[in-house]
Amino acid sequence: MIEFDPPKPILQQQYVLKTVAENMMRPVSRYFDEHEHEIPYDYIQFMHQAMRATGAGSLAPSEEKKEGEKEKRPPIGYQMLAHMLEMLAWGDVGMYLVTPGGGLGAAAVQAAGTPEQRQKFLARFAGEKPTFAAMCMTEPHAGSDTAAIRTTAVLDPQTNEWVINGQKIFVTAGDKSLTPREEFGKGFIVVWATIDPSAGRAGMRAFVVEMGTPGVKVVKLEKKMGIRVSDTAAIVLDNVRVPFDHILGSPTVEKETEKGFKRAMLTFDSTRPLVAATGVGVARAALEFLKEKLAENGIQIRYGLPRQKLTNIEREVIDMEIMLRSAWLMVIKAVWMADNRMPNALASSMSKVKAGDVVTRITQRAVELLGPLGYSREYLLEKWFRDAKITDIYEGTGQINRLIVARQILGYTGAELR
């Protein structure tokens, strides 16, 4: 079996996070599943203070070394995030999604913003209060077809402001990012809109819309099958005005439009492996629970025997362990590439596809093998089964990511292979 020892900082982080998962997440996991959208303030405040103290959770890549300066250690920022999110998802993937920080919104600023914009918008996550950000891309009529986005951004030459109109749906943490609360800092959303509807994807740009901006409103919170503690919002933008420099990237719009969609994809290239890591965490939780219950009933997995001498349950458990390990190795490869500033679109989408398949298959089979016990709400296994499916849906469905993998391998463009 291939295995890699994580660097010491990651091992130290994992020890702390496991304590959090076991003592702050698992004990309240069922409660927040049954009280959808209730905010776990104790967990949020604890994690915010812990992340401020340790500097964990930053989406900023490691700084490049200066000329003549020795590299102290290889960059591991995204690798640390992957290990962090896998452990938190092992505790409760819904609560992981309400961990304070920038999430996809910050990732979009990091991928598409200028150094000045990154400093302006990302620094607030290290402030006194927990702060949230969200990314708004999906629209009611344009799920995976991003070229069909109708939200518009028009420059008002008199005020030099962007005027944004449109509607966004399925916005993770949209409510916490936009609705003022005394406990939270000033959040924002990153809205993908078109500045040239005739240009398709080439006309897409990203805009930062801050909490408290007139005209932006959360109109609905989705009721979901899984990850129920996480808010998933529908947002309406009605003549929302934002400053000119809130367009991510160069403020010079000319010659920049072609890069808009590519910037969006850079965001996903860095975050899809992190989503995959959360799927691995849920799958690991289910598999460990299955093995624990089998052991309680006198069933031990006899590793090392020829396959034909194993029972069917033993073979199934070993197969699930193989699936889990292969998914995790694909995640590690993708985040290692991100840390080392290597193009990772292929590895990123492959890790997302693999983790989405693996977590769905492992949680479903664990429920089936345990029968009524697995189906019972007395244990968290049925919840993990419900939570698992989202891995295959958000940040690009399994079908979309398979298309990306095929295009990368075969050398086709999006227009050539749809």
Catalytic option among 86, 139, 210, 395: 395
Spatial distance between the Cα atoms of 267 and 108, rounded to a whole number of angstroms = 5
d(Cα 240, Cα 108) in Å, to the nearest integer? Answer: 20
CA 135 to mean position of chain CA atoms: 11
Give the three-class secondary structure for 265.
helix
Instruction: Report residue 247 as tokens.
Output: 């367009």
Listed as own residue / partner, the contacts of 73-77 with beta carbons closer than 8 Å and 24 or more positions apart are 73/7, 74/339, 74/340, 75/339, 75/340, 76/7, 76/9, 76/10, 76/339, 77/339
Contact 332, 82 (CB under 8 A): yes
Contact 275, 123 (CB under 8 A): no
Q: What is the CA radius of gyration of the chain?
A: 22
- By CB atoms closer than 10 A (0-12, 13-18, 19+), residue 27 is exposed
User: In sequence order, what are the beta bridge partners of 241?
Assistant: 163
Q: Is 22 tagged catalytic?
A: no
Backbone angles phi, psi at 132, to 5 degrees: -125, 155
As a whole number of angstroms, the distance between CA 39 and CA 188 comes to 18
CB distance 230 to 94 below 8 Å:
yes
Element (H, E) at 170: strand 161-172
Residues 112, 192: Cα–Cα separation, whole Å: 11
* Residue corresponding to tokens 């005005």: 241
Catalytic residues: 395
